[in-house]
Amino acid sequence: MTQSGVRENETRGVRGEPGPGEAEPATETETETADEGGPAKDTGPDAQAGAQPPGDGGDGAEGRSIAGRPRRPRRLLKWSAAVLALLILGTAGAGYLYYRHLNGNIKKDALNLGDHKVAAPTPNAAGQTPLNILLIGSDARDTEENQKLGGARETFGGTPLADVQMLLHLSADRTNMSVVSMPRDTLVKIPKCTDPDDGKVYPATQGRTMTNQSLGHGGPGCSVATWQELTGIHIDHFVMVDFAGVVSMADAVGGVPVCVDANIHSRTSDGKGSGLKLEKGTSYIQGEQALQWLRTRYGFEDGSDLARAKAQHMYMNAMVRQLRDNATLSSPNKLRRLAEEATRALTVDTGLDTVKKLYDLSNELRKVEPERITMTTMPNRYVGARVEPTDDAEQLFRLVREDIALDGKDKARKQTAEEAAADPAAADDEIPVQVRNGTRTDTLAAVRGRASEVTGLLTEKGFAQAVADTTGSWSEDGTVVRYPSADLEGDAQRVAKALGIPLGSVKRSTDVTGVTLVVGADWRTGTTYKAPRRDDKTPKSAEALNGADDKACMHVNPAFTW
């Protein structure tokens, strides 16, 4: 550190002349300037003649001048403190500006463009709620970079498609994570969506269409609406990334290990395919090669979207493990690059529109160990060249709705209606209940008069305001009690308890205006409800992959080997 050039006449206590090579010295008080910019008068205890600096416990000359004033070490300490303060302020200012810069990188869009809203799940006994995030991979070719990476020149500037859709479910207690992929060619009904920017209304589709088209109905908020309509799962956020974003973030991570069981080249004789070319075994891929892996159909297994989803699951699991183990990400430059690339690549809802919100989300996700991460594909069956959800798909959706871990490692959870109700129930004779006949199935007609029979049963049990609703026709596989708002939750659970209906069959729904009992196909006769034995296991058809499985390897179609 350069000396200040201050010299004291120890016998007179006055400022000396500059020595050779020294700058014009300043007085001690001039080193402590006020905010206004002029010299500040030192009125502190150190300014008093003979004042002993803190920590000086004796009368020795060390650290003090004859006049009792601090020697150079004391003065250098003050200079260092002043410089450090300026550095801290300067760095903080730069950090804040960079934080604003990163926030400006993030693109935002509305969360849900549909009319149908799914109620948020009821908190558990500890007041915790699960978190559901829809991950969307867009095939947008709206920039030269995306065009180069995505090919298909004739589609430049065309309506983007949501070719990758994955629902990420983080459990309420943050111990496990489940991911459900929906193949892009799944046939669904896309609901009416309204673009909030220009007010344009996209009518609901007539019949079923491929789910990837939902993105073109106003944006990712319509993909969210489509998922909620199909699954009944409340979605809290979405995160969307395009081709260029996948490449840039893969580069920033520094490579992800993937495995193939034979040499692969994803290219057909007429030029179709992702272009992925790898040797048998494990390779570290990044950048454009990572995008090729995520897009490959031709060459993996049967060449379908189902095989592509499996490859995407392997990549995501490997990337999670890589981010946890990769020491290079402790480098500030690596982290800054990752932050820069990630924020540029993302489109999110307003609930995730700042770096802080994304950082908080990442902290929540990091609580889950890879061993408790389960990747699945929505169970489906072919309809021509497309697919549709099966009964196993509804089973998978129910497990997510009820926050049941897909790895089967949940601790037993026992919860009574009294513990779960946020609002206490009214007296039985003060609870209005509508009873609907939902016993109709695809193969059986509804049981005539069933709503009236169960209404009579409720009346006998003291629910004097129970009435049969015969104004419509309903179909429900399992008997369910629905309620529209939190203040009726206790009432709904009281009705369920009186009939022996399990708590898991009490659902909040905006489709009803009061406590509504739908007598399902599982209760077509009798006055005693017997809840069917529930299977809370993940269907085998979901092809679950554990996040810690580092031995998984994609099977290569022999027609695409070399």
How many Cα neighbours within 13 Å face the side chain of 258? 31
In the three-class reduction of DSSP (H, G, I as helix; E, B as strand; rest coil), residue 396 is classed as helix
pLDDT by residue (tens digit) across 230-289? 999 999 999 998 766 677 777 777 788 999 999 999 999 998 999 999 999 999 998 888
- Read off the pTM: 0.68
pLDDT of residue 118: 85
CATH class of the region 109-408: alpha beta
Torsion, Cα 375 378 382 387, to 10 degrees, reads -110
Q: What is the CA radius of gyration of the chain?
A: 33
Predicted confidence band at 321 (pLDDT cuts at 50, 70, 90)? Answer: confident
Determine how many CB atoms are found less than 10 A away from the CB of residue 479.
Answer: 24
pLDDT band at 1 (very low <50, low <70, confident <90, very high): very low
pLDDT tens string 400-450: 998 999 999 986 554 443 445 557 899 999 999 999 999 999 899 999 999
CA-to-CA distance for 288 and 391, rounded, in angstroms?
A: 38
Percent of the chain with pLDDT over 90: 53
Query: Looking at the predicted structure, is the pLDDT value of residue 68 above 80?
Result: no
Residue 400 contacts residue 180 (beta carbons within 8 Å): yes
Lowest mean pLDDT among 219-223, 368-372, 510-514: 510-514
Find the length of the chain. 562
Residue 290 to residues 243, 256, 262, 293, Cα–Cα distance (Å): 10, 8, 18, 5
- Per the model's pLDDT, the better-predicted residue between 29 and 107 turns out to be 107
- Which pLDDT score is estimated for 159? 80
| Phi, psi (rounded to 5 degrees) for 286 | -155, 175
Rounded to whole angstroms, how far apart are CA atoms 484 and 507?
Answer: 9
Whether the Cβ atoms of residue 166 and residue 374 lie closer than 8 Å to each other = no
pLDDT-derived band at 92 (thresholds 50, 70, 90) equals: low
- In terms of average pLDDT, the best of 138-147, 428-437, 478-487, 527-536 is 428-437
